[in-house]
């Protein structure tokens, strides 16, 4: 029989008011299948084979559009499952920053700070979608125009996020944006991973390696406090592969502040404009391995500390604490208020660009 060709297809996922929301299925025969929503730029599911060739969804998500919309409502315990996050990923202290002498005030939604762009950030928007295919990949490009004063941010921003799947089992996420006036911008993807399979339990036994020798220590509300500090001699040293659960509930004050890991690591970049190695995660039972590269200077590792059983996943099973972990490539938290951090300022005539690559593989042999 002839081998199936890679493809991208579209299906109706639901309606948000008068707007149709679609799901785009990116499929590579024998490889990955990725489902992306034009609501929030969400990666809803990603199916990957294990060491025996058995496939499972390895990212967390909801079954219905109503579930996503309800999780975005005021007062909900926001999970940001799989979402394209903006205008500003992570936190801006007290919802305030000054740019070119002008003070900008944003709505706050996390302990008095602005988190992930505010209560109605990019994760709550319906993006315009275009299917893309070429000889080497299939994908979908999402476009969004964020008007001036959206969530209090200055300038009109035209943002573009493209998801591409290729024959090497790589999901490449490319970001591009421009602004008509000075602003700040920090985009990321907020996928939660569980390499044993979505809804299978906690990720404590899965190992993680981070290409970072420093991290940003934080105050009790998770705002960076002081200069980045060395990971050596701390529970934040993931320079060699370490089970996520090995130290996550220790007595270290930084772990207490985050109720586990919820910190920005300063990546040891290899130089140049191409994506550099950032992280690698591994599940010893399934043999699945996740390898990550990015052009960004920072990586927020979140160990799913606040996930709870009221979140029901795509499988119909509840998500308990630490049911998944997030690896968010981005600039540093609160950079608009920290001139010593890499700048997140975007000015007219400049083009924001970021590329992050996730590759799934599976080792042969019996489980460890």
Q: What does the pLDDT look like over 109-148, one tens digit per residue?
A: 999 999 999 999 999 999 999 999 988 999 999 999 999 9
Residue 227 has pLDDT above 80, yes or no: yes
How confident is residue 270, by pLDDT bands cut at 50, 70 and 90?
A: confident
**Average pLDDT of 171-185?**
98
Higher-confidence residue: 273 or 257? 257
Check if 73 is active-site: no
Q: What is the pLDDT of residue 231?
A: 98
Q: Are 241 and 309 in contact (CB under 8 A)?
A: no
pTM recorded for the entire structure: 0.96
**Phi and psi for 73 in degrees, rounded to 5?**
-75, 155
Residue 108 has pLDDT above 60, yes or no: yes
Structure confidence by residue, pLDDT tens digits, 293-304? 999 999 999 999
Q: Which among 67, 88, 71 has a CA at the least distance from the CA of 79? A: 71
Sorted by where each begins, the domain ranges of the chain are 7-200+301-362
Q: What is the pLDDT of residue 239?
A: 98
Check if 190 is active-site: yes
**Average pLDDT of 172-198?**
98
Which of 47, 113, 116, 190 is catalytic? The answer is 190
How confident is residue 71, by pLDDT bands cut at 50, 70 and 90?
A: very high
Q: What is the pLDDT of residue 364?
A: 79
**Average pLDDT of 2-17?**
87
Tokens of 338: 């920290």
Q: For residue 344, give the DSSP letter.
A: -
Residue 366 has pLDDT above 70, yes or no: no
Q: Are 24 and 13 in contact (CB under 8 A)?
A: no
Q: What is the pLDDT of residue 3?
A: 54
CATH number of the domain at 7-200+301-362, out of 3.90.1520.10, 2.70.98.10, 1.10.3720.10, 3.40.50.170? 2.70.98.10
Q: What is the pLDDT of residue 74?
A: 80
CA distance 108 to 312: 27
Residue 170 has pLDDT above 50, yes or no: yes
CA distance 356 to 358: 7
Which of 47, 198, 296, 328 is catalytic? The answer is 328
**Average pLDDT of 336-362?**
98
The sign of the dihedral angle between the CA atoms of 254, 255, 257, 258 is positive
């Amino acid at each position: 029989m002839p081998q199936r060709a890679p493809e991208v297809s579209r299906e109706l996922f639901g309606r948000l008011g008068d707007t149709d929301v679609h799901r785009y299925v990116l499929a590579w025969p024998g490889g990955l299948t990725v489902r992306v929503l034009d609501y929030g730029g969400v990666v809803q599911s990603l199916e990957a084979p294990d060491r025996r060739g058995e496939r499972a969804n390895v990212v967390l998500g909801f079954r219905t559009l109503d579930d996503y919309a309800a999780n975005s409502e005021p007062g909900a315990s926001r999970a940001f499952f799989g979402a394209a996050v903006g205008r500003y990923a992570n936190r801006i202290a007290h919802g305030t920053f000054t740019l070119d002498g002008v003070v900008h005030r944003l709505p706050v939604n996390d302990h008095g700070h602005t988190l992930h762009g505010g209560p109605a950030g990019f994760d709550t928007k319906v993006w315009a979608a275009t299917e893309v295919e070429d000889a080497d990949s299939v994908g979908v490009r999402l476009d969004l125009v964020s008007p001036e004063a959206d969530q209090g941010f200055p300038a009109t921003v035209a943002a573009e996020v493209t998801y591409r799947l290729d024959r090497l089992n790589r999901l490449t996420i490319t970001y591009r944006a421009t602004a008509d006036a000075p602003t700040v911008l920090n985009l990321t993807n907020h996928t939660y991973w569980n390499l044993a399979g979505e809804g299978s339990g906690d990720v404590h036994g899965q190992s993680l390696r981070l290409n970072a020798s420093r991290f940003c220590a934080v105050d009790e509300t998770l705002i960076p406090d002081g200069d980045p500090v060395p990971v050596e001699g701390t529970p934040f040293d993931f320079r060699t592969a370490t089970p996520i659960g090995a130290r996550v509930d220790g007595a270290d004050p930084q772990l207490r502040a985050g109720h586990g890991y919820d910190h920005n690591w300063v990546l040891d970049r290899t130089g140049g404009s191409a994506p550099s190695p950032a992280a690698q995660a591994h599940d010893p039972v399934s043999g699945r391995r996740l390898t990550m590269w990015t052009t960004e200077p920072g990586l927020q590792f979140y160990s799913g500390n606040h996930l709870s059983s009221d979140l029901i996943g795509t499988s119909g099973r509840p998500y308990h604490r630490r049911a998944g972990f997030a690896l968010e490539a981005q600039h540093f938290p609160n950079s608009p208020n920290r001139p010593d951090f890499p700048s997140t300022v975007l000015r007219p005539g400049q083009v924001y660009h970021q590329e992050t690559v996730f590759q799934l593989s599976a080792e042969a042999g019996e489980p460890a």
